[in-house]
């Protein structure tokens, strides 16, 4: 079981990296989100939180912008080991992202949920989450 969880964990991290790279390369991604991604990658937690907070307070954000910002916040929470918060925000963000139809941001939510479940001690729920993510691809 431990080997399967480790394998799944590594596969999920590879998918997260791939999805995040696709998102960060999109030309219509707001500059603040691109910078937030870089701050998260550089482990500049406080700066990333502040930037995301300021971005989310802006008026006129598209649904895509809101969901993208939430996915970055989920990634930040995950890196801090705040798995329970990841699970809650990822579920909320996935529900919000349904307005975008099938999209990679929903997949990101599921992937981060799955990895958080492993670390949170509920690996038995991971397979269902991964299957839901695959259905969106």
List the CATH number of the domain containing 17: 1.25.40.10
Task: Of 85, 89, 57, give the one whose Cα is nearest residue 71.
Answer: 89
Model's pTM, two decimal places? 0.76
Task: Of 46, 58, 52, give the one whose Cα is nearest residue 34.
Answer: 52
For residue 136, with 0-12 CB atoms within 10 Å meaning exposed, 13-18 middle and 19 or more buried, which class applies? middle
User: Hunting for tokens 């590594």 — which residue is that?
Assistant: 10
- In tens, the pLDDT along 59-76 reads 999 998 999 999 999 989
**Domain total in the chain:** 1
- In tens, the pLDDT along 93-137 reads 988 988 888 777 888 888 888 888 888 778 788 878 877 877 777
- Residue 118 lies in domain: 2-135
Is the Cβ–Cβ distance between 32 and 51 less than 8 Å?
Answer: yes
- Tokens describing residue 28: 């219509």
């Amino acid at each position: 079981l431990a080997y399967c969880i480790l394998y799944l964990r590594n596969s999920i991290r590879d998918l997260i990296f791939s999805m995040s790279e696709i998102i960060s390369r999109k030309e219509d991604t707001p500059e603040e989100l691109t910078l937030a991604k870089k701050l998260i990658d550089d482990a500049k937690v406080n700066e990333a939180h502040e930037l995301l907070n300021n971005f989310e307070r802006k008026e006129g954000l598209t649904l895509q912008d809101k969901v993208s910002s939430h996915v970055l916040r989920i990634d930040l929470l995950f890196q801090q080991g705040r798995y329970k918060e990841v699970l809650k925000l990822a579920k909320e963000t996935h529900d919000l992202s349904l307005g975008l139809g099938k999209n990679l941001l929903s997949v990101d939510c599921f992937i981060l949920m799955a990895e958080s479940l492993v670390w949170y001690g509920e690996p038995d729920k991971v397979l269902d989450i991964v299957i839901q993510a695959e259905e969106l691809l």
